């Protein structure tokens, strides 16, 4: 078991304050005093482990931020529908709590406080001088704390803009009033934390330390924050032209081109480590590229991993149950919408188009391999059905369509819903509304109805870094260099090289990023930093799949598929940032609210 995982289990019983009245003046086996923690490096390591555990991952809770952007639809939809229509106020952040575990303002600052406690206390710890993986324990732990604090602030800044930069440990009788740092100050702080972490962390971990932050993870996080900071949202004053404090949500001086240059250099620093490569980067002639992509996301560990989170069964990963088709007793929680499905290209690299009669006749044939690794669609092959559904689906293929059958007894058409529709005879209260299910991260070897899967969550993987580098190159006008790195990813995906330049290359890149990083919690932030909210938050479409009745009253063997309007979504520019809640404003009278709230 990974030490980070074991550490949290141990932490459940750890108390960070001393008992005032210990029974018979003994320390219970289930408690550790504050003095004991900071006098024992092993307990300090456990303290750090719980910060790792609190990093947000959607596999634990089972619900993703994809439901509050143009990737998917949540079947318990009232809150996410409000969010997708920008019905957001300082008193109500609909769907944010269910889509983001440990990512509220309060939870993030709680985790940051743990990092600050570490820095307040770690000089007292009797660390030894032994070197493991090239670093002492003291340096490695300090590096981890710098990295974790940077990661936590990154989430705050990408969600709220400039935030209070708190590095001290506040006690109950302290003044909690701290003004927001400017956006520029916050970016600089995160970059500084990443640089310090990179100096202190090993290039690789070994043994039980695998999974902890490395030098590469710190440099990769630096790449991400600098990419975000260079993006249009933070350089377009007209978006919030009437806001009195633009320095909180954007840069007010400096050069965007130089920021793209910094983003490019940061991504290249990760590449030049030569520590990472794409998983199965060059598919062989007989390889199933789609299976390669499936394997990437259900493998415990790959050469593409930069920063990941391991799971064990007791950690109760809900994603498999929440997301699987309901004909397998899954819940269909993160159901792709038509807009996400249409983003996947054809196998020959051309754009899918409903106006093309060949595409429309068989929309799930001849799509690019990542489509088959990411999306469950009607007739997608899958694992053996549970016992109560085997007779209904002997072919073990996803059924999101319905059959029109002629009933001679009533002289009328009868509609027979598929096993994975919301009218299923297995479960008629669960399942996807969209005609699709998310395939990514679902382990076919696990019966999610009964067993918690333990799929690794990849916070940062190498493909993102290649895309970051390519994006910076595009914005710097270095199109040939950008194509080189985009085409590495496309080669792994079994696709032809792209050849576009200029605006066409930017559009192609953005779609490539959308598809490659689908359901990895990137799209929500990409839509915002690119300032394309109106483009993304449009009315959503779903698949209608029908095996129609023929004139001779037999049922067609091939379905008719169409994408139909499902729900309205709309955009308000205020949603580029979330509001600081009224509770937080009441706690700190120096806080200034974000624009539009």
> What is the block-wise mean pLDDT of the chain (597 residues), using blocks of 10 residues?
43 35 39 82 96 93 94 92 97 81 87 97 96 98 98 98 95 85 98 98 97 98 98 97 97 97 98 98 94 97 97 83 95 96 98 98 98 98 93 94 97 97 91 97 93 95 99 98 98 98 98 98 98 98 98 98 97 98 96 98
The per-residue pLDDT for 71 is 98
Tell me 231's DSSP state: S
Residue found under tokens 């020959």 = 348
**pLDDT at position 19, please?**
33
Number of other residues whose CB lies within 10 A of the CB of residue 429:
9
Is residue 506, in this structure, part of any structural domain at all?
no
Pairing type for strands 335-336 and 72-73 reads antiparallel
Helix (H) or strand (E) holding 468: helix 462-475
- Provide the CB-side half-sphere exposure for 465 (13 A, CA): 31
**Strands 412-417 and 560-567, bridge-based pairing:** unpaired
Longest pairwise C-alpha distance within the chain: 88
In 161-286, which ranges are continuous DSSP H helix? 183-200, 215-230, 256-271
pLDDT at res. 131: 97
Residue 230 inside a domain? The answer is yes
- Same domain? For 151 and 172 the reply is yes
Are residues 175 and 70 located together in one domain of the fold?
no
pLDDT for position 175: 80
Whether residue 79 is found in the same domain as residue 45: no
**pLDDT for the residue numbered 315:** 73
User: Which residue among 275, 302, 337 closes a domain?
Assistant: 275
Q: Do residue 112 and residue 226 come from a single domain?
A: yes
Q: What is the pLDDT of residues 208-245, one digit of tens each?
A: 999 999 999 999 999 999 999 999 999 999 999 999 99
Mean pLDDT of the chain: 93
- Asked whether residue 178 falls in the same domain as residue 325, the answer is no
Q: How far apart are CA 425 and CA 538, in angstroms?
A: 33
Q: Are residues 71 and 107 in the same domain?
A: no
> For residue 248, what are its two tokens?
């909180």
Give 330-343 as a DSSP string. ----SEEPHHHHHH
Measured CA to CA, the distance from residue 308 to residue 210 in angstroms comes to 9
Domain that holds residue 327: 66-99+317-455+532-597
Closest by CA position to 14, among listed 38, 30, 34, 35: 30
Global pTM value: 0.94
Domain count, the chain: 2
- Same-domain pairing of 337 and 252: no
Kind and range of the H or E run holding 406: strand 402-407
pLDDT of 313? 76
Contacts of 559 (CB under 8 A, 6+ apart): 378, 379, 401, 545, 546, 547, 548
Report the alpha-carbon angle 62-64-70, nearest 5. 145
């Amino acid at each position: 078991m990974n030490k980070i995982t074991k550490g949290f289990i141990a932490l459940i019983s750890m108390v960070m304050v001393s008992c005032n009245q210990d029974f018979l003046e003994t320390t219970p086996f289930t408690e550790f005093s504050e003095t004991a923690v900071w006098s024992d490096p092993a307990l300090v390591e456990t303290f750090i482990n719980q910060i790792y555990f609190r990093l947000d991952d959607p596999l634990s809770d089972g619900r993703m931020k994809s439901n509050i952007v143009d990737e998917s639809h949540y079947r318990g939809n009232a809150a996410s529908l409000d969010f997708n229509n920008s019905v957001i106020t300082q008193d109500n952040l609909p769907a944010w709590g269910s889509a983001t575990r440990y990512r509220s303002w309060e939870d993030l600052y709680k985790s940051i406080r743990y990092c600050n406690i570490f820095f307040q206390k770690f000089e007292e710890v009797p660390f030894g001088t032994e070197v493991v993986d090239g670093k002492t324990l003291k340096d490695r732990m300090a590096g981890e704390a710098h990295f974790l604090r940077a990661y936590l602030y990154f989430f705050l800044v990408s969600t709220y803009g400039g935030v209070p930069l708190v590095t001290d440990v506040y006690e109950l009788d302290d003044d909690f009033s701290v003004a927001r740092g400017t956006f520029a100050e916050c970016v600089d702080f995160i970059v500084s934390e990443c640089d310090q972490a990179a100096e202190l962390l090993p290039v690789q971990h070994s043994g039980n330390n695998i999974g902890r932050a490395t030098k590469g993870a710190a440099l990769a996080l630096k790449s991400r924050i600098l990419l975000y900071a260079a993006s249009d949202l933070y350089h377009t004053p007209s978006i919030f032209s009437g806001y009195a404090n633009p320095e909180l949500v954007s840069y007010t001086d400096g050069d965007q081109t130089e920021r793209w240059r910094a983003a490019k250099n940061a991504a290249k620093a990760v590449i030049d480590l030569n520590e990472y490569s794409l998983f199965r980067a060059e598919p062989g002639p007989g390889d199933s590229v789609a299976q390669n992509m499936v394997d990437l996301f259900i493998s415990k560990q790959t050469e593409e991993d930069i920063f990941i989170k391991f799971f064990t069964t007791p950690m109760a990963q809900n994603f498999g149950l929440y997301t699987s088709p309901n004909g397998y007793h899954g819940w269909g929680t993160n159901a792709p919408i038509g807009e996400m499905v249409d983003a996947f290209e054809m196998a020959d690299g051309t754009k899918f188009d409903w106006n093309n009669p060949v595409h429309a006749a068989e929309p799930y044939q001849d799509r690019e391999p990542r489509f088959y690794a990411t999306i469950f669609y009607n007739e997608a092959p899958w694992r053996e059905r549970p016992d109560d559904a085997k007779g209904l689906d002997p072919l073990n293929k996803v059924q999101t369509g319905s059959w029109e059958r002629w009933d001679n007894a009533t002289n009328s058409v009868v509609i027979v819903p598929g096993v994975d529709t919301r009218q299923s005879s297995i479960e008629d209260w669960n399942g996807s509304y969209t005609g699709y299910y998310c395939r990514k991260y679902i382990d076919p070897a696990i019966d999610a109805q009964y067993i918690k899967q333990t799929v690794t969550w990849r916070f940062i993987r190498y493909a993102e870094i290649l895309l970051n580098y390519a994006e910076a190159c595009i914005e710097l006008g270095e199109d040939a260099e950008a194509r080189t790195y985009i085409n590495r990813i496309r080669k792994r995906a079994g696709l032809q090289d792209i050849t576009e330049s200029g605006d066409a290359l930017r559009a192609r890149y953005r779609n490539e990023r959308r598809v490659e990083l689908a359901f990895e919690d990137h799209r929500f932030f990409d839509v915002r930093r690119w300032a394309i909210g109106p483009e993304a938050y449009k009315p959503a479409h779903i698949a209608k799949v029908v095996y129609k009745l023929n004139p001779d009253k037999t049922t067609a063997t091939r379905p008719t598929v169409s994408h139909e309007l499902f729900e309205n979504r709309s955009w308000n520019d205020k949603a580029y940032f979330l509001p600081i809640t009224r509770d937080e404003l009441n706690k700190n009278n120096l806080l200034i609210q974000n624009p539009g709230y």
